[in-house]
Amino acid sequence: MAASAVERVLARVKGEGIEVVDLKFVNLFGGWHHISVPLSQVDASLFSEGIAFDGSSVPGFKSLEAGDMLLLADPATAARDPFWDRPALSMIAQPVEADTKAPFARDPRAILAKADALLAASGIATGSLWAPEFEFYIFDAVTYLNDINTAMYRIDSAEADWNSAVGPDSNLGYKIPRQGGYHASPPLDQLFNLRAEMVAELEAAGIPVRYHHHEVGGPGQSEIEVLEQPLRAAADNALRVKYIIKMTAVRHKKTVTFMPKPLYNEAGSGMHFHQRLMKGPRNLFWDPKGYAGLSKLALQYIAGQLVHAPALLAFTNPSTNSYKRLVPGFEAPVKTIFGLANRSAAIRIPKYADTAATKRFEFRPPDATCNVYLAMAAQLLAGLDGIRRRLDPSQLGFGPYDVNVFALPEAEKARLGSLPTSLREAMLALEADHEFLLAGDVFSRELIAAWIHAKIEDEYNAVRNRPHPYEISLYFDA
């Protein structure tokens, strides 16, 4: 009889001399937590009975008077964690109710699983393939402080042009101009060895990588692209990718941020989501006779995402900083349009993906402040709503636009639908348009209301009510 997944993990623990099993789980807003189990306590009960934890101390989970929860290890996610001094095996764990072991209603991973099940039950497709892109900055030093009488941050990078003539550690003339780092080669690209190490760690963890390169941002912006994976595996891997990239940087006394806009007047970092629906091995988005090789079903899916785009951004771009990236002039979308190879569009159809095996599109607004489980579930539900309603993106005025939207006459640009320009706008859009998220009970009204409240009160208002350092420059001598 073939060994079960649990038996294989336990055999691996024994065979590889593992001394600690590290369980990781995600809070409502996308942050990872972990609890570490010594070898003496590792057995089959880790997968069936679980480990107790306090859900009231996890952002977005439980209230204080009802905080008891359990974590159940998922054996399918087992991978070596190379950053421990002792041999460690990492697994993603599922938060469940302590008394019934029922799925927790606010567990983002369980919400994505419901979206995946809804897709399968619809009969439209048997699954979907996804590939987020990972853009990030690697910095040599970061300091910041916020107090009643102080608000400041300072960032440094050995690649930055501001270091071309500063001190003994200056960059000796090999400076990358602002917004001039795209595919820069050594010696301008000083981070290629570090990225190569990141990729080696990713592939050792079973995450297939397409390539890596320096990105547009001069002071240390990089990109690593992974290959497509099924919906849930792609989401799990997204958190693992961020963890491995950050920890590899820490190993070299550097720091990584996936923040959408850490530097003023430099390129921002996005997390574009490539996606397509599948029926068995058949790509449902492919039709060689359709626009850009897209099927009618693919265009309906695209229409669903563009119709709901303002509300989608509440989950795909859920930070105040997100909207400092979504501005003209930095290859970031601001209009709800689609087009072939068009990086000014919210949805781009890659021109190079022109076969039945590769045809897909990318939704370009998202960034890595999102909770990937919620962001991917919302995108899928929006697309399915477009299919259900047989929406036509051209009839709705979404394009296709195969021109640079920023170069259009102002009158024509004004007729195009716009993405939200602030976190508050996105939350108000979600408040007005969320019925599509309730399909199959994937999202609940309670969760959506809690999300909107937290994002407006704890983030938008918290930033809005604080004096900004630039305001001191503008208005101190009033």
Residue 137 sits in the same domain as residue 89: no
Asked if residue 47 lies in contact with residue 6, where contact means CB atoms within 8 angstroms, the answer is yes
What residues form DSSP beta bridges with 57?
none
pLDDT at 168: 59
Which of 7, 49, 54, 68 is flagged as catalytic?
54
Residue 197 sits in the same domain as residue 340: yes
In this model, does residue 230 exceed pLDDT 60?
yes
Residue 276 sits in the same domain as residue 233: yes
Which distant-in-sequence residues (6+ apart) come within 8 Å of 112 by Cβ?
231, 232, 235, 373, 374, 376, 377
Task: Examine residue 113 and state whether it is found in any structural domain, yes or no.
Answer: no
Mean pLDDT of all residues in 63-89: 93
Q: What is the CATH number of the domain that holds 70?
A: 3.10.20.70
pLDDT at 181: 86
In this model, does residue 97 exceed pLDDT 70?
yes
Task: Examine residue 116 and state whether it is found in any structural domain, yes or no.
Answer: no
Q: Report the amino acid identity of residue 181.
A: G
Residue 100 sits in the same domain as residue 144: no
pLDDT at 164: 76
| Cβ-based burial of 474 (10 A; exposed 0-12, middle 13-18, buried ≥19) | exposed
Which of 135, 189, 266, 459 is flagged as catalytic?
135
pLDDT at 255: 98
Tokens of 146: 């916020």
User: Is 343 known to be catalytic?
Assistant: yes
Provide the number of structural domains found in the chain. Answer: 2
Select from 363, 402, 369 the least CA-distant residue to 386.
363
pLDDT by residue (tens digit) across 320-373?
Answer: 999 999 998 888 899 999 999 888 899 999 999 999 999 999 999 999 999 999
Q: From the CB of residue 265, how many other CB atoms can be counted at a distance below 10 Å?
A: 9
Task: Examine residue 115 and state whether it is found in any structural domain, yes or no.
Answer: no
Which of 140, 362, 385, 459 is flagged as catalytic?
362
In this model, does residue 93 exceed pLDDT 70?
yes
Residue 297 sits in the same domain as residue 358: yes
Cis peptide before 393 (omega within 30 of 0): no
Select from 301, 268, 154, 134 the least CA-distant residue to 202.
134
User: Is 133 known to be catalytic?
Assistant: yes
- Of 46, 69, 104, the domain-final residue: 104
The rounded distance, in Å, linking the Cα atoms of 312 and 135 is 20
pLDDT at 170: 60
Q: What is the CATH number of the domain that holds 371?
A: 3.30.590.10
Please tell me the pTM assigned to this model: 0.95
User: Is 431 known to be catalytic?
Assistant: no
pLDDT at 473: 93
166-175, 183-192, 458-467: which has the minimum mean pLDDT? 166-175
Instruction: Report percent pLDDT > 70 for the chain.
Output: 98
User: Is 308 known to be catalytic?
Assistant: no
Task: Examine residue 463 and state whether it is found in any structural domain, yes or no.
Answer: yes
Select from 430, 398, 367, 335 the least CA-distant residue to 136.
367
User: Is 8 known to be catalytic?
Assistant: no
Which of 159, 201, 215, 385 is flagged as catalytic?
215
Task: Examine residue 119 and state whether it is found in any structural domain, yes or no.
Answer: no
Residue 88 sits in the same domain as residue 137: no
Compute and round to an integer the Cα radius of gyration of the chain. Answer: 23
53-62, 114-123, 312-321, 373-382: which has the minimum mean pLDDT? 53-62
Mean pLDDT of all residues in 13-17: 96
Label residue 166 by pLDDT band (50, 70, 90): low
Q: At what angle do helices 231-251 and 192-204 cross, to 10 degrees?
A: 130
Residue 278 sits in the same domain as residue 161: yes
Mean pLDDT of all residues in 176-204: 92
pLDDT at 2: 56
Instruction: Report percent pLDDT > 90 for the chain.
Output: 86
221-235, 398-412, 430-444: which has the minimum mean pLDDT? 398-412
The rounded distance, in Å, linking the Cα atoms of 318 and 312 is 10
Which distant-in-sequence residues (6+ apart) come within 8 Å of 266 by Cβ?
178, 179, 217, 218, 219, 221
Task: Examine residue 154 and state whether it is found in any structural domain, yes or no.
Answer: yes
Domain region containing 348: 127-475
pLDDT at 218: 86
In this model, does residue 1 exceed pLDDT 50?
no
Label residue 167 by pLDDT band (50, 70, 90): low
User: Is 252 known to be catalytic?
Assistant: no
In this model, does residue 398 exceed pLDDT 50?
yes
**In 210-275, where does DSSP find H-type helix?**
231-251
User: Is 362 known to be catalytic?
Assistant: yes
Which of 8, 213, 251, 343 is flagged as catalytic?
343
Residue 330 sits in the same domain as residue 422: yes
pLDDT at 66: 73
Q: To the nearest whole number, what is the mean pLDDT of the chain?
A: 94
What residues form DSSP beta bridges with 153?
144
pLDDT at 381: 99
Task: Examine residue 65 and state whether it is found in any structural domain, yes or no.
Answer: yes
Task: Examine residue 19 and state whether it is found in any structural domain, yes or no.
Answer: yes
Q: Report the amino acid identity of residue 130.
A: W
Asked if residue 443 lies in contact with residue 118, where contact means CB atoms within 8 angstroms, the answer is no
- Of 73, 104, 135, the domain-final residue: 104
